[in-house]
Structure 1
Amino acid sequence: MSALPPPLALEEAQARLLALAPRIAAETVPAETALGRVLAEDLLAARTQPPADLSAMDGYALGEGEGPWRLVGESRAGAPYREVLGEGEAARISTGAMVPPGAGRILMQEDAVDTDGIIAATEVPPPGRHIRPRGLDFHAGDRLLARGTRLTPAAIALALAGGHASLPVARTLRVAVLDSGDELSADPAACLPHQIPASNGAMIAAMLGEWGCEVKRIGPVPDDRAALAAALAQAESADILVTSGGASVGDHDLIKPALAEWGAETDFWRVAIKPGKPLLVATRRHAEGHQVILGLPGNPVSSFVTAFLFALPLVRAAAGERAALPRPVTLVAGEDLPAVGPRREFLRAVREGDAVRLAGSQDSSALSALAAADALIDRPAHAPTLTAGTPVTVYLLRNG
């Protein structure tokens, strides 16, 4: 039997996976329903904001002169004063209202004295004071949002302000999540002594659903070729298939041969990280191009860490998001950290201000520590013992 190729480094494995991301078509949706979707093209402003000079304060719009000024009208938000203010004339004005023609500054209400319609200033404002000029935010034709932007509440507000009632976004990704193993019980309240609850599929589905994917759950599936074949047939229309369990080298790890029989071609297998070494990436042709198959380890923590480092970046890349990979931050170790072996390690941790501490047991089956964690500490292979207070690279989780 030929020797297995060495596991890939994390960055090489991520780059190879993202290069395989399926191409997802665009669709147009109402802007108010686009939260979490990814823009399929640059969004240009269809209007100028603000569309005219507006007042930034409640007070008085002043015509020429140093005062006093005679009150001749009022400009309210949505009901502008349209006459030209002459020298020595003023108009009452509210925040957000159009500045009348002929006015070049706003006198704040608290700096004004109104005596029977004659306005005096305790302090005369300089020209341009408290006026938001036309186009202060953006002009028609400006790029508001770049292609690949994931739409946040503020981005949706910007798109609407820019004159867009609907937005071009990537179609919702169809993801199938399959977990396998004879030891898995679909009913967590009815596990026999030799069984454990099937939690990985639900965990991965929740992670991907939070990012806007349309997730189809399949399983748990027993370690049986026929059962796996029937389960895989349910994923025919998926853009991405994520499996959990059965991707290692044991006699009952059947995901690789089952995928091969289904027509999938393995791109790479095994990554030099801990937890999560037995990671499988494959592709399969189907009617809309190709599917990407991501085989995650069966241990719960390994499954979570590899989903964070691989599955989430894959769905972001497939949707066209510009920043697909998780972004690290630098914090300090809140306690001593042990030396690292030959594989890069990701330690489950809890953030405490600018420091991180281990969340508990680092065993790859320890769900209690994983549930408490809100960060992963990234420790290089062969790193020596690290003392408390030393800077460390950390990935923040939407977890814990």
Structure 2
Amino acid sequence: MISVAEARARILSAFAPLPAETVALPDALGRVLAEPVVARLTQPPFHAAAMDGWAVRAADIAAATALAPVPLRRVGESAAGHAFDGTVGPGEAARIFTGAPLPDGADAVVMQEDCSADDRFVRVGRAVVAGRFIRQAGFDFALGDELLPKGRRLTARDVALAAGGNVPWLSVHRRPRVAILATGDEIALPGDPLGPSQIVSTNALGLCALVTTQGGIAHNLGIARDTADSVAAMAAGAAGCDLLVTTGGAAHGDYDLVRDVLAGKGVTLDVQTVAMRPGKALMFGRAGAVPLLGLPGNPVSTGVTGLLFLRPILRRLQGLPPEDERAPTRARLTTALRANDRREDYLRATLATDTDGVATVTPFARQDSAITSLYAQADCLIHRPPNAPPEPVGAMVPVIPLSDGALSL
């Protein structure tokens, strides 16, 4: 057996970011930029009002007070989308609305609450300095500014920013295409009749969902039965994909055929078994032109190894670092942990926040790799290194959050 770190390093060394493609901005949510997004205009493109009020010359109202308002002659109006094309001269003012261009000659805006007006004049009851309530041209960004860096996964906020920069097309990494193949006579699709010795297949659908949340395109190849012909025929459906992921059949039992069948088809294996719990039975290699990641069959083992190995692959293929460095990494134990053995352990747990604002973590009492209900309830995994000593209540331990995905706001 090899360590998780060595297995991840070997596996990730086989992958590089996928080529770029151009997509329309409405289709860019969750995609990863292959090139920076650069502003194609200055925003705002003109000096604009930040308040509804009156565009004035600050020098004209320097002495204005509520008890001694200064009268100014009305000369026009500037509204959003309808600029005043005249000039504000000495002793003059123009009605203006939020977002509207500042007329020539004016250098400040007085809020409407500080003014009273009739058809001919506005009486200003407060002095303002030049530049008051004005958003200067380029206040947000300027033509040629980098708005979003290469390697960023686009959020809803990013899409709005690119739109504001007048960028209708983006260069992004192609989405990874991942073929998922479940194996075993004992599993059936959800909703299908179950034989007396069968259970419902969960792993393939869970992995497809994982691929989707991480920005990939999942192709569910179905269920291969426990025969060499079935495994080989259905694995052939991965042709043209960036990765084939199998679940089940990777161990050394009499009916674990994936390793032997695919090896007979020219598969080379670089990783076989990893010193971790859950998920010891894991393999990685190449099936012809397609990289192969073989995950164990127990559902929680599949989920955990998918998180630790499949998710970093998907991030690497999209030009991202293997791990999201913004995620919290440590939390305070609410219950004691026993010493660990020689395998790395990943305990399913829930997160909360203590009264002092510190994240706390509570492992489930049951950690069997077949308990899918608790895995679905988990917020995180507690990572325990090999031979870790006992940990008391209150100890800070490393955690891996489970809640991230491509569709972050």
After TM superposition, give the deviation of residue 93 of structure 1 in Å: 1.2
Counterpart in the other structure of 1:3: none
SS at match of 1:234: helix
Counterpart in the other structure of 2:299: 300
CA distance in 2, matches of 1:352, 1:240: 36
CA distance in 1, matches of 2:316, 2:32: 10
After TM superposition, give the deviation of residue 285 of structure 1 in Å: 4.3
Deviations 1:356-377 (A, max 9, x none): 2224521111111011112112
CA distance in 1, matches of 2:8, 2:147: 30
User: Normalization by structure 2: what TM-score?
Assistant: 0.89
Q: Gaps spanning 5+ residues in structure 2: where? A: 62-69, 354-358, 405-409
AA matched with 2:54:
Y
Counterpart in the other structure of 1:11: 5
CA contact (8 A) 2:57 2:130 kept: no
After TM superposition, give the deviation of residue 126 of structure 1 in Å: 2.0
CA contact (8 A) 2:58 2:128 kept: no
Counterpart in the other structure of 1:310: 309
User: Normalization by structure 1: what TM-score?
Assistant: 0.90
SS at match of 2:95: strand
Q: Gaps spanning 5+ residues in structure 1: where? A: 1-5
CA distance in 2, matches of 1:183, 1:22: 36
Match of 1:386 among 363, 385, 391: 391
Counterpart in the other structure of 2:201: 198
Match of 1:236 among 217, 220, 239: 239
After TM superposition, give the deviation of residue 243 of structure 1 in Å: 0.8
Does the C-alpha gap of structure 1 residues 112 and 379 become closer, same or farther in structure 2, counting only changes over 3 Å?
A: farther
CA distance in 2, matches of 1:129, 1:262: 74
SS at match of 1:144: strand
SS at match of 1:65: helix
CA contact (8 A) 2:272 2:284 kept: yes
AA matched with 1:309:
L
CA contact (8 A) 1:61 1:92 kept: yes
After TM superposition, give the deviation of residue 150 of structure 1 in Å: 1.3
The 5 A counterparts of 1:100-139 are 100-114=103-117, 117-139=120-142
CA contact (8 A) 1:247 1:296 kept: yes
> 1:95 and 2:91 equivalent?
no
AA matched with 2:400:
Y
CA contact (8 A) 2:60 2:90 kept: no
CA distance in 1, matches of 2:94, 2:283: 71
CA contact (8 A) 1:64 1:88 kept: no
The alignment covers a number of residue pairs equal to 388
SS at match of 1:28: strand
AA matched with 2:344:
R
Does the C-alpha gap of structure 1 residues 184 and 127 become closer, same or farther in structure 2, counting only changes over 3 Å?
A: same
Deviations 1:146-192 (A, max 9, x none): 22221111111111111111212222321100111232223555333
CA contact (8 A) 1:332 1:355 kept: yes
CA distance in 2, matches of 1:372, 1:97: 51
CA distance in 1, matches of 2:296, 2:212: 20
> 1:398 and 2:403 equivalent?
yes
CA contact (8 A) 1:309 1:325 kept: no
CA contact (8 A) 1:22 1:292 kept: no
CA distance in 2, matches of 1:12, 1:127: 63
The 5 A counterparts of 1:347-358 are 347-353=347-353, 354-358=359-363
Q: Is the deviation greater in 294-303 or in 348-357? A: 348-357
CA distance in 2, matches of 1:193, 1:388: 45
The 5 A counterparts of 1:238-257 are 238-257=241-260
Does the C-alpha gap of structure 1 residues 271 and 131 become closer, same or farther in structure 2, counting only changes over 3 Å?
A: farther
Aligned residues with identical type, % of pairs: 40
Does the C-alpha gap of structure 1 residues 91 and 16 become closer, same or farther in structure 2, counting only changes over 3 Å?
A: farther
Counterpart in the other structure of 2:79: 76
Counterpart in the other structure of 2:33: 39
SS at match of 1:79: coil
Match of 1:86 among 84, 89, 103: 89
